[in-house]
Amino acid sequence: MWQAAWDDEGVDDTALIAALRAGDRDAFALVVERETSSVYRACLRILGRPHDAEDVTQESFVAAYRAIGQFRSEGSLRGWLLRIATRQCFRRLAQRRPAADLGAIGDGLLVDTSAEPARVAVAAEARDEIRAAVAALDDPYREVVALRFFGDMSLAEVAETTGRPINTVKTHLRRGLERLRPVFASEVDR
């Protein structure tokens, strides 16, 4: 019944959401297929570890499936999923114990044989510091910065996703970036 409304190229999010709410597993499979790459990219940018990004991507889809009844249709389905994913990522970062991810360092060295090991290690450390700094931001700033830069969303998309006016999003982004400036300044000094 729902399939005709969302099975073609021009997927109608309204019909798809109605199918999800009705428990249509095919609709959910379509959402997962359609949105996995954007959710995974956002998770990878926040977490920096492919394995963690895969786990959180899966956890995010499970959380979205369970919470589809709470989706208010005020923004796009993709934006709602990215919001869930970024929150899941920051929870994972808060639980993460400091440990060296030797696999990720090794992969970086194998991909670029001309890279100096010290340079690869410093770059990985810098990315970790930036991720930690974003995770430490207060909520409205953290969410806006994460959606904008880790989720690759435009300011209009962030406003639509969060339900905030665009000028509020711009203010939160500016204030969030101001709070991150000391971290970025220390990265430039390296």
Nearest 10 degrees: CA dihedral of 102, 107, 108, 111? 160
Q: Residue 23 carries which DSSP code?
A: T
**Token reading at 33:** 């297929």
Q: How far is CA 66 from CA 46, 54, 119, 171, 173, in A?
A: 23, 19, 43, 32, 30
Domain span including residue 162? 3-189
List pLDDT tens digits, range 111-166.
454 557 777 777 777 777 888 888 888 888 988 998 888 888 889 988 888 888 99
Which CATH number goes with the domain that contains 16?
A: 1.10.1740.10
* Angle, helices 25-47/50-67, rounded to nearest 10 degrees: 140
Q: Whole-model pTM?
A: 0.65
Nearest 10 degrees: CA dihedral of 61, 65, 70, 76? 50
Contact 48, 89 (CB under 8 A): no
Lowest mean pLDDT among 51-55, 156-160, 165-169: 156-160
Domain count, the chain: 1
pLDDT at 2: 43
List pLDDT tens digits, range 3-18.
444 444 556 778 888 8
Q: Residue 190 carries which DSSP code?
A: -
Calculate the CA 5 to chain-centre distance. 28
